[in-house]
Amino acid sequence: MRVKQDMPDISLATVYNCLDTFVQCGLVRQVVHERGATRYCANTEEHHHFYCDECHGTYDIPAAPSVSRFVFQVPAGFVVRHFEIVFQGLCPKCFAKRSESAEYP
């Protein structure tokens, strides 16, 4: 929508093709949330995401060095290039609103 303000004739296909190219070049990360549309994250540092159940905000969580030392049981033949840990709950603002009226979860 922001691009359309400056370039009203641009197609959505062009926008998504550019985003796909940015992902392939490592300029952005594609973030797929099970309940929503694909998002793109400009933070290319190793990190994870927190999704707020109330406001649907997405927040970056820095990757702790110790997490990279976890040993996962990956089936034979699979090669892990990247993994992401997803946190879900309430952001501080939504938790403050919720805790005034009821307990979470």
Same domain, 72 and 32: no
Question: What is the pLDDT at residue 92?
Answer: 93
Total tally of structural domains belonging to the chain: 2
Picking from 90, 72, 91, 89, the residue whose alpha carbon sits closest to that of residue 80 is 72
Q: Binning pLDDT at 50, 70 and 90, where does residue 45 land? A: confident
Same domain, 81 and 33: no
What contacts 31, CB < 8 A, 6 or more positions away? 38, 39, 40, 41, 49, 58
| Range of the structural domain that residue 100 is part of | 45-105
102: its two tokens:
């009821």
85: its two tokens:
């840990």
Instruction: CATH number of the domain at 73, please.
Output: 3.30.1490.190
Query: What are 50-72's pLDDT values in tens digits?
Result: 988 889 888 988 887 665 556 66
Same domain, 3 and 52: no
Same domain, 54 and 105: yes
Query: What are 5-24's pLDDT values in tens digits?
Result: 898 898 888 888 888 898 88
Same domain, 74 and 38: no
Same domain, 105 and 83: yes
